[in-house]
Amino acid sequence: MIGLENAGVRRGRWIFSDVSFAVEPGQTLAVLGPNGRGKTTLIKALAGLVPLAAGRRIAPPLIGYVSQAIGSDIPYRVLDVVVMGRALRLGLFGAPGAADYRAALDALEQVGAAQFAERPFDRLSGGERQIVLLARALATGSSALVLDEPASALDLAYQNRLLAVLRDLKTAGRHAILFSTHLPQHALSVADDALLMMDAASHVVGPVRTVLDETNLTALYGLPVRRLSLSIDSGGTIEAVVPMFGGVYA
């Protein structure tokens, strides 16, 4: 399990306060909020990278963490980048062995990126790098995955690919997954619950289907937002979130 209990971070002012949630293995929670609302600070606090000023953090000793951005000029092959996820298991002077490389290859296979193993990381596209970094998080062997806006720089095809990987991981039931996003559609697609960071002292958390309603999303982003049910070719329906940007609509 991973979560926060009555938690807050303060830097002169409260970035966020009195936040509580818990994510069990097999569950996914999406964190949403506008720019500057504290999503990344919350993610880093959950990952143990930012100290809490109040409350407590609930987490396993090791977390699979994917930061919001990473430089593209890492001059290593992809397999070695993924093996870096094993570093805390190896200790200060430890060197990766056969079992560590096997774990790295397994992680790459799990995210559908085994074909990248021998390629230079800095030659990959942004979408390919994000998938590889998710594999690195999996290679830690942690039961908790914490992802800071993992789809922020991805085109639609890679967004779909990333969401499919997260959905498969959730179905497998071995990981508690938390990710932040600017796209409510992603939360509807893969998350069980959502945390809406309305302001530093106000948050809404609960089942994604009910929390991501038009009233909450309109208040969160400061513009009208609509929820629609769309028919799909298979005969079912899909829930869509449509922001009503200030333009002219036919």
pLDDT tens-digit readout, 198-223: 998 999 999 999 999 999 999 999 99
Q: Does residue 226 lie within any of the structural domains?
A: no
Burial class (CB in 10 A: 0-12, 13-18, 19+), 114: middle
Q: Does residue 45 lie within any of the structural domains?
A: yes
Closest C-alpha among 35, 19, 28, 46 to residue 182: 35
What pLDDT shows up at residue 56? Answer: 96
Query: Distance (Å, rounded) from C-alpha 144 to C-alpha 3?
Result: 10
Query: Distance (Å, rounded) from C-alpha 72 to C-alpha 56?
Result: 34
Q: Does residue 85 lie within any of the structural domains?
A: yes
Identify the domain containing residue 125 by its residue range: 2-215
What pLDDT shows up at residue 211? Answer: 96
pLDDT tens-digit readout, 144-156: 999 999 988 788 9
The percentage of residues in the chain with a pLDDT greater than 90, rounded to a whole number, is 67
3-state secondary structure of 185: helix
Confidence of residue 88 (pLDDT cuts 50, 70, 90): confident
Output the domain CATH number for residue 51. Answer: 3.40.50.300
Q: Does residue 232 lie within any of the structural domains?
A: no
Q: Does residue 196 lie within any of the structural domains?
A: yes
Q: Does residue 234 lie within any of the structural domains?
A: no
Q: Does residue 225 lie within any of the structural domains?
A: no
Q: Does residue 132 lie within any of the structural domains?
A: yes
Total structural domains within the chain: 1
Mean per-residue pLDDT, 28-44: 95
User: Model's pTM, two decimal places?
Assistant: 0.90
